[in-house]
Amino acid sequence: LVHDPESYLARTVLFNAIMYVEGGLARRDRELGALGASIVNGCKFCAVVHARRHAELTKSDDVVTALYLDKPEALGPRDAAIYSFARRLSAAPSEATVDDIASLRAVGMNDAEIIDLVHAIAIFGWANRLMHVLGHAESG
């Protein structure tokens, strides 16, 4: 990245536009999508960072604790739908279907929020891979 600061800057602008934009999907839900993607992609650093941010935003570590104990069945319906979608889209993008979108709609998400979630999950496909290549994925 030091050899290509312009691409790093462009990535940072895109990342900030996806994760920190006003309006749209709630920040806590974006963080949960990022956490799900990071768990699937094996990026401990990103998983820890976004677990902490989710807990700070929700003022609770219940969701994070359930995920780290591998008990996603303990999640509420909305969190479960978001986490399940993040995992599926990260593990096998071609296997995400209209049924997954229907599950998100069933918990009250509209199309704009679903697109925000897809963007958050997708940027973490990129971020997690970058962390692996740079040797930071295990430093969480």
* Residue 76 located in a structural domain: yes
* Residue 12 located in a structural domain: no
Q: pTM above 0.85? A: yes
* Residue 96 located in a structural domain: yes
* Residue 2 located in a structural domain: no
Does the pLDDT value for residue 140 go beyond 60? no
pLDDT of amino acid 5: 86
Our count of domains for the chain comes to 1
pLDDT of amino acid 137: 62
pLDDT (average), residues 56-76: 96
Range of the domain at 118: 27-134
Q: What is the pLDDT of residues 16-27, one digit of tens each?
A: 999 999 999 999
Average pLDDT, the chain: 93
Q: From the centroid of its chain, how far is CA 86?
A: 6
pLDDT of amino acid 105: 98
pLDDT (average), residues 128-134: 83
* Residue 73 located in a structural domain: yes
Q: Which position has the higher pLDDT, 66 or 140?
A: 66
What CATH number did the domain enclosing 51 receive? 1.20.1290.10
pLDDT (average), residues 57-79: 96
* Residue 14 located in a structural domain: no
Does the pLDDT value for residue 139 go beyond 90? no
* Residue 15 located in a structural domain: no
* Residue 62 located in a structural domain: yes
Q: What is the pLDDT of residues 18-59, one digit of tens each?
A: 999 999 999 999 999 999 999 999 999 999 999 999 999 999
